[in-house]
Amino acid sequence: MPSYPEAPRRTGVPRDVLRWLQSLDLSCTPKNFRRDFSNGYITAEIFYWYYPEDIQLHSFDNGTSLATKLGNWSQLEKFFLKRTLNVSKELIDGTIHCKPGAAEILLQEVYVMLTNRRIKTVQDNEVDFTDRHYQDKLPMVARSTATKAVKSNITLSETLAEPDIIINQQKVQAVINLHLLQRQEERLEDPKRFNMKPSLGERAIRLPPPLDHTGSGSSLSNRSASSVSSSSSIRSKSNVTFKEIKVKQRDRSYVSSSRTSTASSSTS
């Protein structure tokens, strides 16, 4: 049977970038971008074609250990600083630790940086390098729990590269906060599944105020004008009668005589 060429895998990288990558004639063709770009060797080869006097390929090791990855990327970071190339530290760390989407975004930024070309699929939004997009595609039953989310989004190499316990705790807490936010969004999307009952305020019927043809602002002014006119009309009516209240007062002569009798008794 005739052999057909294998269909290209969906990598999330634009076709123009893939063609440019194939034109460089690298020593190895990347198939799994997340795995092949993690040690920095292919990235060093790419920059060697544009800066051969600054990149010494014999000083880079095409290994898979954590020490090899950190050593290669340390040399690349010195080269980026020397040539004033803007490559974010977060993007480099995500590529080293095989974060979802980090290697693909790094390759696109390198392509724009070296070729001065623009691509349509460059992501301008903030990327968190987690499996959140993958979790959104799954049904709610198959989505990760908080423990699974921490295990999936924080790799062993990431904890070994950063021995500070406080920083690792902050990373874990950030993953948990993101997971809780996703759970809240799921509850809002499908409240019946989680047996969520509406609150008293949500069940209350809210009727909008009546609006005139002229708008809400004019209706308020009409109400105020009508209230003022009604109060003025009540005050201007002449047929309103008021009943006078008479208060019966005590005899003042009795009070004065009692005061004089008490005063004379005190002097005697």
pLDDT tens readout for residues 160-218: 888 888 888 888 898 889 888 888 888 888 888 777 777 777 777 777 777 655 555 45
Q: How much is the pTM? A: 0.60
Question: Which position has the higher pLDDT, 237 or 118?
Answer: 118
Task: Name all domains of the chain by residue range, CATH numbers in brackets.
Answer: 10-124 (1.10.418.10), 130-193 (no CATH)
Per-residue pLDDT for 258 more than 60? Answer: no
Structure-token pair, residue 161: 């590269």
- CA-to-CA distance for 75 and 53, rounded, in angstroms? 14
Q: What is the mean pLDDT of the chain?
A: 77
Give the pLDDT band of residue 14 (cuts 50, 70, 90). Answer: confident
Give the pLDDT band of residue 3 (cuts 50, 70, 90). Answer: very low
